[in-house]
Structure 1
Amino acid sequence: MAAPVFVGRDPEVGRLRAMARAAAAGAGAAVLVEGEPGIGKTSLLDAAAEECGRLGMRVCRGAAEDLEQRLPFSAIGACLGLLVVTADPAQAKVARLLRGEGALALTVAAANHQLAVTEAILDLVDAWCAAGPVAVLVDDVQWADPASLVVLHRLGRGIEEYPLLVAVAARPTGRAEAAGLLRSLRSRGADLVELTALPDDAVTALVTERLGAPPGPRLARLADGAGGHPFYLTELLAALQREGRIRVTGGSAELTPGVDGAGMPRSLLDMVVRRLAFLPRKERETLRQAAVLGRAIDVPELAAVLDMPVMALSEVMFAALDAGVVVDAGPHLEFRHALIRQALSDGVPEQMRTALHLRAGQVLTASGAPVERVAEHLVAGTTLDAATLDWLVSSADELITRAPGAAVRLLRRALAAVADDRAAELRFHLVRALIWESSLPEAEWEAREAIGRDPDPQRRGALYWLLMDALFRQGRQAEAVQVATVALAAADLPAADVGRFHGFCAKCRFFLRQHEAAASAAALAIEHGTRADDGYAVGLGRLVQGGLRFVEGDVVRGLALSEQAIADLGHSVLPDMPAGQSVLRGYCLLQLDRLDEAERVLADALESNQRYGGPYLTLVHALRAQLRFLTGAWDDARAEIEAGLEYPDPLGDEPWLRGLGRLIAIHRGEPQPGATIVAQGQGGSAEAQYVYLDTWARVLQEEPARAKHSLDLLYPFWEHASALEHLPHRVMYHLCPDLARLAATAGDRERAAALVAKTEELAAAQPALSLTATALLCRGLAEDDADLLLSAAASYRDCGWRLYQAQADEDAAVALAARGDLDLARAALTRALDLYTAMDASRDIFRADARLRRLGVRRGRQGPRKRPKHGWDALTQTEHRVALLVASGMSNPDIAARLFLSRRTVQSHVSSILAKLGVHSRVELAVSAHQRTGPASGPAQA
């Protein structure tokens, strides 16, 4: 039996119990338990689990396995019960996703699928936390797979807001991934419990508890030799008792005469080996074979592997239970300690180990076991027989999604051993597996090899497609086009694929900014897709056409084509290139001031990209942040920015998010590091279209006296907006109001006139109130016409652009004051200040006050009431709704679904709400809401 952790560990146990109580009360925490093998980490987690159970928490307990380090989500899946059959619909849904059912129909990249699985797991834990406190306890994290480490890292973010305890135990590790998790949790305030040697008094107490009497002098000296290591000391005492070397007399336990400890093992592992030596040989050999196959022992399964009657194996296991070698772990047995299993398996020769793994893989294959369990043994085995090869081919889809590393290794091993008639099919699956795990250069090489050898035209067409995708994902669009050209020239390319290859070409050429060629390829995709009745090819062609119209500035036509593409594509999602049709539609609606429609479309785009792990998540959050920036909902915009920055950014949209965040901070007068001045034309291709945001942010901080310098820096971005690496004038016109102000202040009539001409041209060509308002504003500033500026403010009001409305009113107030209409100027100033105050735009408030004061216009004696910084009145409308939904007991995923937000955006809102209300957890938030409004009656009240 294991040493009781309470002996000598009272401070550590007390810390974990206190953290469990805090988590149960709503203030979550993370704790790291570190120490060498056998020092008591598992026993400490046992104590934490017991306390959490006593507190009524949902306890999720698991341990990472050294054999499963390459199996995605194996550690966290076992901990959360996602690897076993469950009656819980929410758990079952995540389990299906974890198994990768149908994943290859949605994406060919593991990163996309793993993002979707991670989000689903976090949603599940979030929902559990909404129902009650939760404890996630994971042992042996040093062996955890990278995907599980990512989930644990994400659980640690904002944990203090949840009724959640995350406790992980690990040996001191050199693994970069595991060490990274520990650093991450520590940086976020996780508690560190370092288990070291027991002090002398604890050693004495442990001996006393185990033997029923305190140690005598000679036994005490021998116990001191254990170095305060509880597991070693426990094994030492057990060995001495087993060998009859301890006698309890006169109220103390002492070594028998003639025993002095000489010959006792000096290492922990040797001590374990000594314990095992007392088992009968047959039992010891059986346990050694079991140890090779892993920590857990499924008796019927092991009996099949060893070709041994279940009853005979059961007798061995009963003896092992009695000897303390294995323990009952519920649905299975497992070795009591990793060191016991290590001592047993180390005694098995390598040839026998590989034979055992191969036999286990064959047995599990025949029994229909999960593919990942089969694969872990086959990988550790040697040759693959014909039946195993058949299994490998038939299970390829599931194996690739569930255990891609194992799939690659097994497919390579199979290819080295089979004849040519089977090699083509195996190589095809190898290419898919390599792309799935993002080994793209290898996938490219294998695909080129396979294309030259595969006699099947259908499979060869699929290989061309996979090769194009591997090149596209490496940013080598021009080479992808070359491959598509070769494929299209092949006489045996299936007719149904022709339209899709043209569509792929069109998209590549669009990203290469070869707009003419992209248009031709898109037309061919539509032509061939229509002929083959292939909605995907037609939809992809129309989507590229819509993108081309958008970058040319014809947003209306871009919207129409994106809507046609959505109809053509239906609900299909092709695994190689997520189309992102809803993203383009949402972008167009935003540019046309159809903000409510844009909100709904972007909410759908967010949900679908989260579900499939799509590449457009950062872009969708950027568009949603842009919408909220324009409407003055800046706290909500910041929540979108924070959420968007947490996702991978394959399309290079992060600079947009950071630029919007910087603009909000500057308008609010928050200290900002000097923004980088970037000349027009600089910046990498991925971020070139957003590079102007840095210069814009810097210009906003310049003094009016430097208006000409600021205009010289910023104007070239507008002047050259139609260049291929930039957004078109039709999309960049939100820059014009500040340019027009700089031109007016600097007295640059030429640029002011150019701005007027271009914005009026755009407004005449495209129906959008914000364009009309911008044209009015530019002319009003150029001509110092207060009436035009007031009209601009009214138009901005009607289209919902609150910051621009306030700035136009401010400009109108200046023009009115200059012509002597002080009452009208004061009214316009008041409107502007009211809007600035609602947005907390303190820099704009200061500037407007200063400009008008110089002209003899002051706001009323009291002026607009300052926006509260703290308390319920400081919450935005969205934050208020989120707060009430949290108080009613809804989880973040449920709130996200209700309000058409992402779970991460809701989490950002919750953090902001807690800070404004001065509370620290969702429980305290619920109490505050109760005190303010009375008991929550449920979500409907939000």
Structure 2
Amino acid sequence: MTASGAQPAVLGRGAEIDRIRQLLAAAGDGSGSVLWIDGEAGIGKTALLDQVLAEAASRGCAVRSTAADAAAKAFPLRVLLDCLGLGAAGPDEVLAEVRRLCGEAPLVLAIDDLHLADETSLLVWRRLASRTGRLPLLLAATAHPARRDLAAGLAASRIALPPLGGEVTAQLAARLAGTAEIGPRLRAQLAGARGNPGYVRRLVLSQPLEVAAGIAEVVSAEPPREVAEAVAAGLRTLTSDARDVLRLAALLGSPFPATDLHAVSERPMIELARHVEEAMTAGLLEETGPRLTFRHGLVRQALRETTPGALRAALHHRAARALHACGTPVERIGEQLLASAHLAESEFDDWALDWLAEDGRSLARRGPECAEQLLATAIPQLRRDDPRRAELRATRVLALVQLNRAEQVRDLAERALADSSDQPRAAELTWHLTWSLAALGLAEEATAVAEEALDQPGFDRSWLARMNAMLGRVLLTEDQFEAADGAVERAVTEAGAARDDYARGLALHVRGSGLARRCDLSEAVICFEEAAAALGDAPEHTDLRLQVLGDRMMLLFALGRSDEADAALHELLEIAERSATESRLAAIRLSAAYHCFTVGRWDDATAELEAAAELTAHMTEPERSRLHGLSAMIAGQREEHEAFRHHLAELGPAERGFPLVAEVLRAEIDGETDRAVQLLSGFLERGDRFATRYVFLPQLVRLAMEIGDAATATAANDACAEDASVGAVPNILAASQHCRGLLDRDPPALRAAIELYRKTNQSPKCARALEDLALLHAERAEPAAARKAYAEAAELFQALGATWDLRRVDARMRAHGLQRTRRRAQRATTGWASLTKTERRVALLVGEGLGNPDIAAELCSSRRTVEVHVSHVLSKLGVRSRVDIAVEATRHRRDEVHSGS
């Protein structure tokens, strides 16, 4: 079927409609005003203006309305005359007519697209606006975003329409389709509309839909060309030059640096800035830190698809050469070459092959997926005697290593080794082959290959060092600690003799990993610091350096050195955002999100998860499951029901870690405590090693005791005590004390756990321990102590936004006759009051003139996390720029100072 074109009712605008009703009520009492409805094209300004008229009519108001058009500019006073239904008349007669109508009933005078009105109408409109306070008159208008100047100087009530939320967007699509629900493919397409009702409408109405059991679904996962054409047609309000610039921008990815657009467009910067500003004003482009991005993915897609393929291929190839000429990073050049190759389906020219031979290794480290695809296409085009062929094959092996494709590395490395007569290149290929065998779980074969290579004469000392370090890593996976230590010592010696910083860094990392596996965390941290110092900031060392820094950060946190761990995480993210491959960055973002979740920075955790979600194509299946598991944990505890259901549906097998604990949370919320205990008991059956299972054991003790399963509770307590005895570090000691306090009903043990949680900055766990302590005091008829712990737990849960935890603790304490005296009011959904604590702090720092990198440093966060927070602030405040945020922040800082808060 094809969806009907019936206009749906206004959805998701409850706060705005409430504000309109207030203005109408005031007009009815004789105090008029001006209403300015603002927002990007397609956001629903006209629909809301229609709602104003409907509400006014239902209240008995007189209603006069019109929509201005371009032809109106040629006729003085045309728009207001049409609105009031007058023939030929002058300004004074218009004013008299308005006064007459106001004398009969409250009057609503509404003009859609006021920016198209003639100058005389605009002048009279302003005169009317100055008199609204003395008349029962509501003037309502919409205009193009570029003409906000029309409201300047007016005491107007401005309603800035933000994008619709995900669930409301889905409801709108269902109404347009004439069904109750929509399917997952259509829901995925709607993400490109970014909550813009106009783009939602084009998506639904411009393609065929299938309906089954009341659910509308698109035929194809990708929108058809008809959708692209419909969206592109909606850009005709832009100047032709702005559309041309946007078409080039659509080739550059999103986000993209303005310098790239300058290089590719070959336009003067001043001229380019004018066209970019036009696109930003129209809500098509927006700033993301120092870069630009399409506000709606659907627009970028439409511009790309409506450009003929042959022309796009030529433009991509020209872009690659232009970007190379101005020194653009290799990954952006590679993306342009790859796009051109996919479209043209022709052989690479000599320039492209020479570029791959010269810069391919850098591309393999920075953009391995792109490098692999380019090399897989380029290598078959070369003759066997072409000197570039051997180099490109070795580079492709490197790219596959970066992508963790061990099976392909093994196959290609073995074939390349059979053809190679160059010993340094053979040594490199053997090293990668050893890695692939170890990654495939073939430790014995990996050891044999490494040892055979080390027995070969004439091995370069750098490769001796690297091979010994790799051998040490393989032996370590088999718990052959002494043999691994010997290989590492040889690696350190050879690396020193060869002055090979990479080999030394690798060897020290392996040594530190061995110490960590033997629970000597303090010495392991020192090793990792020495490894990072050896690696330095050489670009070719980036991947290993990030591994070292990530391991160091986790050990610092495990040792209770939380401030150092925060600083280490900031350093890790700063380097990763600048230099990491997308797969490595995805893994680091997940680690960052987990750390932020653990220390109670849930807004930052959510922002990191949003940023990580952009990289799902570069994640392994376990990483994607971890992403959805952790996202589900936060959404469930914050009672964000739609997001909770979505992430649960996306989970992989719930066998361990956050996917499993997300399922436990679902069971708890559903009141299935037996199932929750059964799921968590898997940690005991698998015998997870130190630094993993202890995280979840207090929860298992608590739930097992709730259902009277003393045996499981005792086993969980014993397991945590065993972990604490092996690795006596604050995090594990805190968990062990928590378990014992629950099992033995021992307040001192719980207080000891709470103190350790506080010292290690783990507010979510501290809140749960305080809840457990409050309940224990209540059971022991110690109300004063119970109230104190209860209040502290509730304060922490409130700071986290953990409303489900708050309801749970309230219910548990209410059973003992205890109740909180104050409850937090429901959070607003728009405006300053809707900002989270973190978002408010980010907004205030923007108001102080700080850029995203400086804000990230201030918050020990990542640049991308700050970008996500800024995006949320823009949306919630209904503004478009950092300047607007700064204005709001300054006003609220001033209000707080005046109020003494």
Structure-2-length-normalised TM-score: 0.59
Going from structure 1 to structure 2, the CA distance change for 1:670 and 1:498 (only over 3 Å counts) comes to same
2-structure distance, mates of 1:83, 1:700: 55
The 5-angstrom pairing of residues 262-341 of structure 1 reads none
Moved more, 582-591 or 648-657: 648-657
Moved more, 500-509 or 393-402: 393-402
CA contact (8 A) 1:883 1:925 kept: yes
Give 1:20 deviation, angstroms.
Answer: 12
2-structure distance, mates of 1:130, 1:559: 52
Q: What's the secondary structure of 2:691's corresponding residue?
A: helix
CA contact (8 A) 2:690 2:727 kept: no
Partner of 2:635: 665
- What is the identity, as a one-letter code, of the residue corresponding to 1:880? R
Q: Does 1:568 align with 2:534?
A: yes
CA contact (8 A) 1:621 1:640 kept: yes
Q: Does 1:617 align with 2:585?
A: yes
Deviations 1:610-651 (A, max 9, x none): 222334323322332223223323222211221122222259
2-structure distance, mates of 1:876, 1:525: 51
Q: What's the secondary structure of 1:461's corresponding residue?
A: helix
Partner of 2:843: 883
Deviations 1:306-329 (A, max 9, x none): xxxxxxxxxxxxxxxxxxxxxxxx
Q: Does 1:22 align with 2:208?
A: no
Going from structure 1 to structure 2, the CA distance change for 1:480 and 1:590 (only over 3 Å counts) comes to same
Give the one of 303, 306, 309 matched to 1:168. 303
Going from structure 1 to structure 2, the CA distance change for 1:475 and 1:907 (only over 3 Å counts) comes to farther
Deviations 1:332-357 (A, max 9, x none): xxxxxxxxxxxxxxxxxxxxxxxxxx
2-structure distance, mates of 1:903, 1:462: 35
Deviations 1:194-220 (A, max 9, x none): xxxxxxxxxxxxxxxxxxxxxxxxxxx
The 5-angstrom pairing of residues 79-478 of structure 1 reads 80-82=261-263, 155-156=293-294, 168=303, 170-171=305-306, 396-398=357-359, 412-416=380-384, 418=385, 426-433=389-396, 436=399, 447-465=413-431
Going from structure 1 to structure 2, the CA distance change for 1:86 and 1:511 (only over 3 Å counts) comes to farther
- What is the identity, as a one-letter code, of the residue corresponding to 2:749? L
1-structure distance, mates of 2:771, 2:879: 38
Q: What's the secondary structure of 1:80's corresponding residue?
A: helix
Partner of 1:317: none
1-structure distance, mates of 2:256, 2:755: 59
Going from structure 1 to structure 2, the CA distance change for 1:398 and 1:20 (only over 3 Å counts) comes to farther
2-structure distance, mates of 1:854, 1:64: 60
Q: Which runs of 5+ in 2 are unaligned?
A: 1-68, 72-111, 117-141, 149-159, 164-192, 207-223, 326-335, 364-369, 897-901
The 5-angstrom pairing of residues 56-95 of structure 1 reads 62=248, 80-82=261-263
Partner of 2:501: 535
- What is the identity, as a one-letter code, of the residue corresponding to 2:782? D
Partner of 1:544: 510
Q: Does 1:525 align with 2:491?
A: yes
Give the one of 569, 579, 590 matched to 1:602. 569
Give the one of 663, 682, 703 matched to 1:716. 682
Partner of 1:826: 787
1-structure distance, mates of 2:776, 2:396: 67
Partner of 2:610: 642
CA contact (8 A) 1:695 1:714 kept: no
- What is the identity, as a one-letter code, of the residue corresponding to 1:879? E
Q: What's the secondary structure of 1:155's corresponding residue?
A: strand
Q: What's the secondary structure of 2:814's corresponding residue?
A: helix
Deviations 1:667-719 (A, max 9, x none): 2234344997999xx959xx85555334433443353xx54553233123145
Q: What's the secondary structure of 1:643's corresponding residue?
A: helix
1-structure distance, mates of 2:255, 2:675: 58
Q: Which runs of 5+ in 1 are unaligned?
A: 1-8, 66-70, 89-123, 138-150, 180-290, 299-330, 332-370, 723-727, 937-942
Partner of 1:804: 765
Q: Does 1:795 align with 2:756?
A: yes
Going from structure 1 to structure 2, the CA distance change for 1:653 and 1:587 (only over 3 Å counts) comes to farther
Deviations 1:275-303 (A, max 9, x none): xxxxxxxxxxxxxxxx999999x9xxxxx
CA contact (8 A) 2:417 2:429 kept: yes
Q: What's the secondary structure of 2:303's corresponding residue?
A: strand
Going from structure 1 to structure 2, the CA distance change for 1:739 and 1:542 (only over 3 Å counts) comes to same
1-structure distance, mates of 2:282, 2:518: 53
Larger Rg: 1
Q: What's the secondary structure of 1:743's corresponding residue?
A: helix
How many correspondences in the alignment?
Answer: 652
Partner of 1:556: 522
Q: Does 1:497 align with 2:678?
A: no
Give the one of 636, 644, 669 matched to 1:701. 669
- What is the identity, as a one-letter code, of the residue corresponding to 1:837? Q
Give 1:73 deviation, angstroms.
Answer: 11
Partner of 1:654: 624
Give 1:808 deviation, angstroms.
Answer: 1.9
1-structure distance, mates of 2:256, 2:790: 61
Q: Does 1:752 align with 2:694?
A: no
Deviations 1:460-507 (A, max 9, x none): 323434555777899988876665444333223212211112223444
Give 1:753 deviation, angstroms.
Answer: 3.7
- What is the identity, as a one-letter code, of the residue corresponding to 1:743? A
1-structure distance, mates of 2:874, 2:657: 36
Going from structure 1 to structure 2, the CA distance change for 1:524 and 1:574 (only over 3 Å counts) comes to farther
Give 1:804 deviation, angstroms.
Answer: 2.0
Give the CA RMSD over aligned residues.
Answer: 5.7
Partner of 2:186: none
Partner of 2:367: none
2-structure distance, mates of 1:475, 1:592: 31
Going from structure 1 to structure 2, the CA distance change for 1:622 and 1:555 (only over 3 Å counts) comes to farther
Give 1:772 deviation, angstroms.
Answer: 3.5
Partner of 2:747: 786
Give 1:826 deviation, angstroms.
Answer: 1.9
Q: What's the secondary structure of 1:493's corresponding residue?
A: coil
Q: What's the secondary structure of 1:596's corresponding residue?
A: helix
CA contact (8 A) 1:616 1:651 kept: no
The 5-angstrom pairing of residues 730-745 of structure 1 reads 730-745=691-706
2-structure distance, mates of 1:859, 1:621: 37
1-structure distance, mates of 2:645, 2:253: 40
2-structure distance, mates of 1:43, 1:83: 24
Q: What's the secondary structure of 1:499's corresponding residue?
A: helix
CA contact (8 A) 1:676 1:694 kept: yes
Q: Does 1:488 align with 2:674?
A: no
Going from structure 1 to structure 2, the CA distance change for 1:716 and 1:60 (only over 3 Å counts) comes to closer
2-structure distance, mates of 1:446, 1:763: 45
Give 1:605 deviation, angstroms.
Answer: 1.1
- What is the identity, as a one-letter code, of the residue corresponding to 1:62? L
| Larger RCO (alpha carbons 8 Å, 6+ apart) | 1
CA contact (8 A) 1:796 1:802 kept: yes
Give 1:80 deviation, angstroms.
Answer: 0.3
Give the one of 601, 625, 633 matched to 1:633. 601
- What is the identity, as a one-letter code, of the residue corresponding to 1:22? P
Going from structure 1 to structure 2, the CA distance change for 1:677 and 1:428 (only over 3 Å counts) comes to closer
Give 1:782 deviation, angstroms.
Answer: 1.6
1-structure distance, mates of 2:788, 2:256: 64
Give 1:597 deviation, angstroms.
Answer: 1.1
Partner of 1:107: none
Q: What's the secondary structure of 1:578's corresponding residue?
A: helix
Partner of 2:552: 585
1-structure distance, mates of 2:442, 2:743: 47
Give the one of 877, 882, 888 matched to 1:928. 888
Give 1:46 deviation, angstroms.
Answer: 9.2
CA contact (8 A) 2:465 2:492 kept: yes
2-structure distance, mates of 1:41, 1:866: 38
Q: What's the secondary structure of 2:817's corresponding residue?
A: coil
- What is the identity, as a one-letter code, of the residue corresponding to 2:584? Y
